[in-house]
A and B are shown apart, each in its own frame.
Chain A
């Protein structure tokens, strides 16, 4: 069974750093793109970027380029999303999703809530 399991909710202060994870199960993780999607509570979905774990080829949305870093470790089937300096505006749910079918986001993680407040 294909699954993406994300790390747990985080509560951080502005200026702090953070790295959240997304571990894939049940498929060849290295062979398919993994995307990260932001959802501010009550708002829509925003594509942040994608990574191909097999060679770490990474693409970013212009809106998130330079604001976050996406990485992966194919040896442990895990993708990461990280910030060096969080802001209150980063408060959101972050989803990872695999792209195994037709250039779509076919399997989703359960989401990681990131709360940033002083």
Chain B
């Protein structure tokens, strides 16, 4: 069970859009529509931003959107704002009630 692969860092200017990729295998991302994304600010617990690939929990801005193609999922943040700075982690169901996280991506605005 290897960690999902994410870029170490992504940056953008205010108002721009950025996309974070999350690559897994046929055993996790490629086989289930159960990818979720989490935002983490320094010293805080992670917060769910996307679940089931492209669904937003209540209260999460519609500037955040998710997608998946094959073994790779992605999170897009549009209209980048200073408050979007932080670490982002993807997570996928991997079968038999097990999960795997990505290594994390630091977003800089």
Contacts and interface: CB of A to CB of B under 8 A. Distances in A.
Given A44-B89, A44-B103, A59-B97, A111 B36 contact: no
Interface of A: 33, 35, 37, 43-47, 50, 57, 59, 61-63, 95, 97, 101-106, 108-111
Contact of B97 (A50, A104, A106): A50
B1 interface: yes
Contacts of B64: none
Interface of B: 1, 3, 34, 36, 38, 45-48, 51-52, 55, 57, 89, 91, 93, 96-104
A57 B99 CA distance: 15
Nearest to B90: A45
A110 B43 CA distance: 10
A62 B1 CA distance: 7
Nearest to B48: A106
Q: Among B48, B89, B96, B103, find the residue whose CB has the most chain A CB atoms closer than 10 A.
A: B48
A103 B101 CA distance: 13
Contact of B38 (A45, A50, A57, A61): A45
